[in-house]
Amino acid sequence: MSKALTKQELHNLAMNHVGKDLEQRGFEFIAINSKLKRHPQFVCIDKTGQYFFVIVRAVLLPDNPNNYDVVWMETFKDHARSKNAKVLYAGVGLGNPKGDTLPVYLNEEYLIEYNGIQVIETPLN
């Protein structure tokens, strides 16, 4: 019998996709935190020495992975500014190809909606 992925396992799957994208973009990983509701998931640095805090959010399709809690993000942006870091957001939608009401199962095909990394502007208004 197939085993449905837990929220933590879905989050880890999303982080794997985002991590590969960050590597391809040339980021160097400073720290990785894969625990749910612990932010940021990735602390990276680019070739110029700029730090980036990367937020990864996994959602079940058909929910829109590009949406995030704007109020919470303002608080996080304050934290990033205090550390002279930029904020990146990566929403990942995961789903079962056999239907929206079915879970994503371990070692089975799944749908993914990933539109890349969004830069979240951090300057003060």
Three-state secondary structure string covering 47-90 = CCCCEEEEEEEEEECCCCCCCCCHHHHHHHHHHHHHCCEEEEEE
pLDDT, one tens digit per residue, over 70-100 is 999 999 999 999 999 999 999 999 999 999 9
CA distances from 112 to 5, 35, 84, 92, 125 (A): 14, 21, 32, 7, 35
pLDDT at 37: 86
pLDDT, one tens digit per residue, over 99-114 is 999 999 999 999 999 9
Q: Any idea which fold 7-120 has?
A: Trna Endonuclease; Chain: A, domain 1 (3.40.1350)
Residue 125 banded pLDDT, cuts 50, 70, 90: very low
Give the start-to-end residue ranges of the domains of the chain. 7-120
pLDDT, one tens digit per residue, over 35-63 is 998 899 999 999 999 999 999 999 999 99
pLDDT at 121: 87
pTM for the whole structure: 0.92
pLDDT at residue 122 greater than cutoff 80: no
pLDDT at 74: 92
